[in-house]
């Protein structure tokens, strides 16, 4: 995939194509092409890190109005960590685009997690410089935020604690969980949990452990509580 194909894929055309190329230029490539006036992506990475953190913070603040500061911080950290950034970069085939020096290429740099995470941050920084925060946000809303909504980062969330806080604020009564089903072979068990508020069923969830099933049930209940408030 070339840079034109990438722009078509994400639905964004850069005004300054040099910024886009710089986002994918590793320092090893610059070192081997000193006569061609390339710039590496390290400064863009620095900027992109800040833009990404602000964008994710703003998004989480908006969609989780009842989540406390500690849980918001924990969830944000799981989204902007190296592992997550690598997944985002890989899903968009960013690794294929990186300009690498021969030595870095031969040592497998194209698939190195730290390098891919840096490239993703650099791309966000380049997009911000080229078209502003709103366009960077639009990109994240299309390619990153849906993964949050689908529960890809649920391992970092304590939905049970958040639900308990919301229920206490509303004085809605006790929250109780019940494992209602266990299925599958012993090596691949799946549990199903129900969560009740004032003895009324508010959510059901499944997981590989009882705790995970309860967390997923709490997530469903949280969504229902929010919709009830908006009704």
Spatial CB neighbours of 75, under 8 Å, sequence gap ≥ 6: 60, 64, 67, 153, 156, 157
Is 49 catalytic? The answer is yes
| Catalytic-labelled residue, pool 40, 121, 130, 214 | 121
Interatomic CA distance for residues 17 and 65, integer angstroms: 39
| Catalytic-labelled residue, pool 45, 49, 104, 214 | 49
Token pair for residue 96? 């294929």
On whether the CB atoms of residues 184 and 126 are closer than 8 A, the answer is: no
Which residue's structure tokens are 């320092």? Answer: 27
**Beta-bridge mates of residue 177:** 195
Q: What stretch of H or E contains 206? A: strand 200-207
E strand intervals along the chain: 175-183, 190-197, 200-207
**Beta-bridge mates of residue 178:** 194
Q: How far is CA 206 from the centre of its chain?
A: 22
On whether the CB atoms of residues 130 and 39 are closer than 8 A, the answer is: no
On whether the CB atoms of residues 17 and 44 are closer than 8 A, the answer is: no
Question: Left, alpha or beta for 113 (phi > 0: left; psi -120 to 50: alpha)?
Answer: alpha
Is 105 catalytic? The answer is no
Active-site amino acid positions: 49, 121
């Amino acid at each position: 995939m070339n840079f034109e194909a990438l722009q078509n894929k994400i639905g964004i055309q850069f005004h300054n194509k040099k910024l886009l190329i710089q986002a994918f230029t590793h320092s090893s490539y610059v070192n081997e092409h000193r006569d061609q006036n390339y710039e590496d992506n390290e400064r863009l990475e620095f900027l992109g890190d800040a833009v990404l953190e602000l964008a994710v913070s703003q998004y989480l603040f908006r969609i989780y109005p009842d989540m406390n500061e500690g849980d918001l911080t924990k969830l944000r950290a799981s989204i902007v960590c190296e592992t997550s950034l690598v997944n985002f970069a890989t899903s968009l085939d960013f690794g294929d685009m990186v300009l690498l020096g021969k030595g870095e290429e031969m040592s497998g740099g194209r698939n190195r997690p730290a390098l891919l995470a840096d490239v993703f941050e650099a791309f966000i920084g380049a997009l911000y410089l080229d078209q502003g925060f709103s366009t960077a946000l639009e990109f994240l809303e299309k390619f990153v935020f849906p993964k949050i909504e689908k529960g890809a980062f649920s391992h970092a969330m304590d939905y049970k604690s958040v639900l308990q806080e919301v229920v206490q604020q509303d004085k809605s009564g006790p929250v109780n969980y019940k494992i209602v089903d266990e299925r599958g072979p012993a090596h691949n068990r799946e549990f199903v949990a129900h969560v009740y508020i004032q003895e009324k069923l508010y959510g059901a969830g499944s997981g590989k452990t009882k705790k995970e099933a309860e967390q997923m049930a709490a997530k469903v209940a949280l969504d229902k509580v929010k919709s009830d408030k908006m009704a």
